[in-house]
Amino acid sequence: MKEANLDRRDFLTKSSVGLAGLAIAPGMLLFDLAHARDLAHAPVLNEPVSNKVRWGMLIDNNKCESGCTDCVTACNTENGLSGGTKPTDSQWIRKVQLKDTLTGHVSSLPMMCQHCEHPPCVDVCPTQASFKRADGIVLVDKHICIGCRYCIMACPYKARSFVHEVLTDQKPDVPRGKGTVEACTFCVQRVDKGETTACAEACTKAGHNAILFGDLNDPESDISKRIRTVASTQVRADLGLNTGIRYEGI
């Protein structure tokens, strides 16, 4: 009996050590991982964005040509949008034709997400998927967007679209998917590389120069210099949202 007890004890000791080893081993791996991630943090490719920068746009209604849709085409190409205009198709930017009801004056301008300082879409999003990045760009974190469409109801500018169908062929830098909400991102994939937005680039290329994109917080940027010299307004300024996009000539 004593021998059997010793054997049993031996067995229990060995197997519990084995089990403990099995239990701790993944932890060791994760511990390694923790080390690995510390190393991974070292070669970070860029600094986090900060509110030292505020991206904004100045759109000149006088220079915008009725009938030209280069900005829309450029946006569609850059972001992988279909370009369709069915009620269920996504439109991140659109040309709006305006007719003054009192004077009859006709003009057109591009309308997109205004990247407000106090965005109503951010206030109403239940999951905080709609958020404002530190540098002022209002985005949708599609990882946590549940597709409730409350932000679409809240936006005064009809800037947002809901993806109604399964998407394939997304641009690698512009993920978009069914059941989430999307809008103009100020071409964040380009901005983070130091480039300008696709719409501004296309408008300049077409020779109209109606769209000027830049850093509103940098007093020496083209947009800041121009905003100091010309009269500009926000669309629906009465709402007090302090939009990042201002319009000249309306």
Partner 1 sequence: MKTGIRLTAFFFSVLIATAVYAAEEPQIPHLDIGKGGQCVEDPQLMRKNHMLLLMHQRNETMYEGIHGKYSIVDCVNCHASTKTNSVLGSNEAFCQGCHVYAAVKLDCFECHSNKRSVTAEASK
Partner 2 sequence: MQSKTFSRHESRYFYALVALGVFVVFLGYLGMHTMEEHGHIVTGMNNQIVWGIPHVFAIFMIVAASGVLNIGTIGTVFGKKQYKSRAPLSGLIAIALLAGGLAVLMLDLGRPDRMIIAATHFNPTSVFAWNIFLYSGFFTLAALYLWTMMEKRMNVWSKPVGFAMFAWRVILTSGTGLIFAFLVARQAYGSALLPPMFIVLSFAWGLAVFLVVQAALYAWNGKVLDPALLKRMKNLLGVFVISSLYLVAAYHMTNLYFAKQNGFESFILRDGGIYPMLLWAGYVVVGSLLPLALIYLPGLGNTKMVVTASLLVILGSFALLYVFIIGGEAYPLSIFPGFEVSSSFNDGVIGSYTPSLPEILLGCGGLAIAFLISIISIRVLRGLPHDVADATAMNDD
Residues engaged in binding partner 2 (CB under 8 A): 72, 85-91, 94-102, 111, 120, 122-129, 144-150, 152-158, 161-166, 178-181, 235-236, 239, 250
Write the CA distances from 116 to 135, 183, 207, integer angstroms: 12, 13, 28
- The site partner of 172 among partner 2, partner 1, none (C-beta below 5 to 8 Å per kind) is partner 1
DSSP letters spanning 146-189:
----HHHHH-TT---EE--S---S-BTTB---TT-EE---TTHH
Beta-sheet pairing, 55-60 with 245-248: parallel
Binding mask 137-166 for partner 1 (x = CB under 8 A): --x-xxx-----------------------
44 binds partner 1 (CB under 8 A): yes
Closest contact distance (angstroms) between CB of 106 and partner 2 is 9
Q: Judged by CB under 8 A, which of 71, 116, 188, 211 binds partner 1?
A: 188
Q: Rounded to a whole number, what is the distance in angstroms from the first to the last CA of the chain? A: 100
Are 152 and 59 a contacting pair, CB within 8 Å?
A: no
How many angstroms separate the CA atoms of 194 and 49, rounded?
A: 12
What DSSP character marks residue 142?
A: T
Closest contact distance (angstroms) between CB of 221 and partner 2 is 27
Are 138 and 131 a contacting pair, CB within 8 Å?
A: yes
194 binds partner 1 (CB under 8 A): no
N residues, the chain: 250
Q: Judged by CB under 8 A, which of 37, 149, 158, 164 binds partner 1?
A: 37
- The site partner of 222 among partner 2, partner 1, none (C-beta below 5 to 8 Å per kind) is none
Q: What is the CA radius of gyration of the chain?
A: 27
Residue 205: in which H helix or E strand, if any? helix 198-205
Closest to partner 2 by CB, 78 vs 215, is 78
192 binds partner 1 (CB under 8 A): yes
Residue numbers of the site for partner 1 (CB under 8 A)? Answer: 26, 29-30, 32-33, 36-37, 40, 43-49, 131, 133-135, 139, 141-143, 167, 169-173, 175-180, 188, 192
